[in-house]
Amino acid sequence: MLSNPTPHPTTRVDAALAKIEAGFRELRDAGFDELSTNPQRVVVTQRLETIGRTVPGFVYPLINTIERQWRCGELGDHNVANTLADALRISPSEARTRIRIADDLSPQVTFSGARRNPTYPATAAAVADGAIGDEHVKVIREFFRHVPLDVDNETAELAEQKLAEQARVLRPDQLRTAANRILGYLNPDGPKPEAERARKRSFTLGPQGADLMTKGSFCVDPELRAYLEAAFAKYAKPGVLNPADEESTVEEDPAAETVKRDDRCLEKRQHDALKAILRDALASGTLGQHRGLPVTVVATMTVKELEEASGTAITGGGSLLPIRDVLRMARHARHYLALFDDAGRPIYLGRSKRIAQGDQRLVCFAKDKGCTFPTCSRPANMCQCHHCREWVAQLGLTDVDQLALVCDTHHPLAGVKDTDWHAIVAGADHKYPGRILWVPPKHIDPTRKPRINHYFHPHEYWDD
């Protein structure tokens, strides 16, 4: 959340960095035209690669120290990953990965203040020397995720030393082969089935593509597989739940002609079956509530998009959903309507109680679409309703135009003190009237200039 600082060479670190930056500028200005042969170019490329690989050896201890000395709100956010993501302009997932690697490759400090070696000391030394890269580190860390828990520390340390030595001379793909061979020595009988299954289970949805389709990966345990097999046996049969055939149904066995018309492959039939199963579960009302609303799909759109049946709505989970799909889904859903004025501001809806009601949360879903804190990407279904005017300190009412969606991570940063972030509603003269603005504390920005989150309104990135 902090602005990029202006370098002032007041320390030895600043002076050393200034020399490095000057050296890179000189190298860029010199160019490589004077290198006349490919052997020369390969040598220079190797030297640059070593320099690049050396940098993480400096960065990881810095990240580790930042994490150890972290104070909530000091740098404008609630956790280290968000701060690093904003400062380095990397994704939060990449920031979390770097933090985990920093924990493994940096010296640790015990509660008594004593320093101890990194978790992987030989690997850390190789990184500091610029001898190995990120892919080598990934192979070594993956290796230890598969080492049996009953392997003693001395054996594990010897394996790490051997892998770090090999990483200095092998490519990552070659190192993976060597790691697998060592793993075979450490665990000749293979992993314990129950522990290995528990460690591997996963279900991951990737980001939506430009066509709004989503790829993912999963590794399901035997129990979930059994459930899927039972469901697919009925719902994924040829002629059942075919979206291209109005006569296709699940209530009874399909007619022979219906089966014949079904040209879907098994993968597509299973996709359509899983969609129908989840749709029925959401429509049943048996899944209870989440943050005061029934567990269902909440999609928001404009009146123009609805009338034209074109464009996309945004769901409470932050996904984009074609309007035509929304209209088709509405036949199976509980219906909610949120009204806005011509300027896009929610029509007044007040409550005398402190807790926002379900209908107010729906309006907040529609107007905010996700966490309103600057740069946050958490969707609406991961947020609470925050009072822009504090309920007690400022006698605030639970009016929908004074409520803001804020995720669990950033909500603790909000308050009425000078060291807190303040949420306010943009006035009629603002570029985005009715939107939520966040005023940073003085130690983050002495001018306390309000900030706005454009993440869920991406067209605004081009407006500024």
What's the alpha-carbon Rg for the chain, to the nearest Å? Answer: 28
Domain end: 213, 239, 272, which one? 272
Convert the pLDDT of each residue in 308-329 to its tens digit.
677 787 887 888 888 888 777 7
Residue 251 and residue 240 in contact, taking contact as beta carbons nearer than 8 Å: no
Closest CA to 409 of 87, 62, 96: 96
Closest CA to 441 of 122, 189, 72, 10: 72
Q: What is the mean pLDDT of the chain?
A: 82
Q: What angle do CA 42, 44, 47 make, to 5 degrees?
A: 110
pLDDT category at 356 given cuts 50, 70, 90 is very low
Q: Are residues 104 and 167 in the same domain?
A: yes
- Is residue 360 pLDDT above 80, yes or no? no
Q: Are residues 166 and 247 in the same domain?
A: no
Per the domain annotation, does 353 fall within a domain? no
CA distance 183 to 176: 10
Structure tokens at 434: 């009715």
Number of domains in the chain: 3
Per the domain annotation, does 168 fall within a domain? yes
Q: Are residues 245 and 170 in the same domain?
A: no
Q: Are residues 365 and 226 in the same domain?
A: no
- Is residue 104 pLDDT above 60, yes or no? yes
Per the domain annotation, does 53 fall within a domain? yes
What pLDDT score does 123 carry? Answer: 96
Q: Are residues 419 and 452 in the same domain?
A: yes
Domain end: 140, 165, 193, which one? 193
Per the domain annotation, does 277 fall within a domain? no
Convert the pLDDT of each residue in 371-393 to its tens digit.
999 988 888 888 888 887 654 44
What percentage of the chain reaches a pLDDT higher than 90? 37
Q: Are residues 185 and 261 in the same domain?
A: no
When mean pLDDT is compared across 153-167, 226-240, 400-414, the lowest value belongs to 400-414
CA distance 70 to 63: 10
Structure tokens at 157: 């340390």
Structure tokens at 355: 């807790």
Kindly give, in sequence order, each residue whose CB lies less than 8 Å from that of residue 254, ignoring residues fewer than 6 positions away.
Answer: 237, 238, 239, 240, 248, 262
What pLDDT score does 127 carry? Answer: 95
Q: Are residues 167 and 210 in the same domain?
A: no
pLDDT category at 246 given cuts 50, 70, 90 is confident
Rounded alpha-carbon distances, angstroms, from residue 186 to 50, 149, 180, 190, 364: 32, 11, 10, 9, 55
pLDDT category at 336 given cuts 50, 70, 90 is very low
pLDDT category at 306 given cuts 50, 70, 90 is low
Domain housing 376:
358-462
Please give the DSSP secondary-structure letter assigned to residue 170: S
Domain end: 140, 160, 193, which one? 193
Residue 152 and residue 116 in contact, taking contact as beta carbons nearer than 8 Å: no
Q: Are residues 138 and 237 in the same domain?
A: no
Residue 452 and residue 432 in contact, taking contact as beta carbons nearer than 8 Å: yes
Per the domain annotation, does 174 fall within a domain? yes
CA distance 379 to 405: 9
Per the domain annotation, does 180 fall within a domain? yes
Per the domain annotation, does 338 fall within a domain? no
Q: Are residues 183 and 241 in the same domain?
A: no
What pLDDT score does 325 carry? Answer: 83
Q: Are residues 176 and 78 in the same domain?
A: yes
CA distance 249 to 247: 6
Per the domain annotation, does 305 fall within a domain? no
State which amino acid sits at residue 362.
Answer: L
More confident residue, 310 or 409: 409
Q: Are residues 72 and 152 in the same domain?
A: yes
- Is residue 347 pLDDT above 50, yes or no? no
Q: Are residues 140 and 258 in the same domain?
A: no
Beta bridge partner(s), residue 290: 293
pLDDT category at 303 given cuts 50, 70, 90 is low
When mean pLDDT is compared across 241-245, 315-319, 340-344, the lowest value belongs to 340-344
Averaged pLDDT for residues 326-353 = 51
CA distance 4 to 24: 20
